[in-house]
């Protein structure tokens, strides 16, 4: 089965000084190396007209672009949605750590494979305000906005934590709708971005990079 919406929140490994101890993301949840994220054969899930909606880390835009290309998509915008985080109880802006300025937002990029999907709702705004939940969890509203944007089309959430109604899902915290067998990475020739891996699909043979 292929999909017209692929919604992904990869468990990025952060390049920061808080990767150890109780402040680091590794303490909160299991992360993945960039190469392992790229090896997931997401290109096999994309239909002829497919939107990739992927959360990315603002300090690591090049890593996000490498994943976009490795998965077989072309970038539309780095800011499909911007989530302005608020505190659940008080409703005021949430405050994170950040670099130079305190972080209180996250961005979701849009990328496309094949034809540009038809937009059904032209009134949806980029900037969305929603309360912050548990660490790294994204508000349910963004799933709903993607459906409002493109309609009730075949869709899947990757790295999902729960099974959402109307969505297929894949992740280590939910019931999976399918299996994703990693591919083998070979070093590519000079590409549009340096060190973009060439992804070679392999059968279920346990082959690793």
Percentage of the chain modeled with pLDDT above 90: 63
Band (pLDDT 50/70/90 cuts) for residue 201 is: very low
Residue with the bigger pLDDT between 181 and 39: it is 39
Q: Where are the domains of the chain?
A: 3-200
Residue 191 has what pLDDT?
A: 41
Q: Given strand 155-158, what is the order of strands in its sheet?
A: 127-131, 74-86, 105-114, 46-56, 3-8, 155-158, 168-170
Mean pLDDT of the chain: 84
Is CATH 2.60.40 the classification given to domain 3-200? no
Q: Is the model's pLDDT at 141 over the cut of 60? A: yes
Provide the pLDDT for residue 16. Answer: 61
């Amino acid at each position: 089965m292929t999909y017209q919406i692929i919604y992904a929140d990869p468990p990025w490994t952060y390049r920061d000084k808080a990767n150890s101890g109780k402040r680091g993301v590794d303490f909160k949840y299991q992360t993945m190396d960039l190469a392992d994220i790229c090896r997931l054969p997401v290109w096999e899930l994309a239909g002829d007209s497919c939107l990739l909606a992927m959360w990315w880390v603002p300090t690591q835009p090049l890593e996000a672009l490498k994943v976009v290309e490795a998965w077989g998509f072309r970038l539309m915008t780095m800011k499909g949605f911007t989530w302005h985080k608020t505190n659940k109880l008080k409703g005021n802006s949430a405050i994170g750590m950040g670099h130079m300025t305190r972080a209180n937002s996250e961005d979701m990029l849009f990328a496309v494979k094949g034809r540009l999907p038809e937009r059904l709702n032209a009134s949806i705004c980029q900037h969305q305000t929603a309360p912050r939940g548990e660490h790294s969890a994204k508000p349910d509203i963004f799933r709903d906005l993607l459906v409002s944007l493109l309609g009730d089309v075949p869709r899947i959430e990757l790295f999902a934590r729960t099974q959402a109604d109307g969505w297929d899902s894949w992740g280590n915290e939910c019931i999976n709708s399918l299996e994703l067998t990693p591919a083998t990475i070979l070093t590519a020739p000079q590409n549009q971005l340096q060190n973009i891996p060439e992804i070679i699909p392999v059968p279920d043979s346990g082959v690793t990079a």
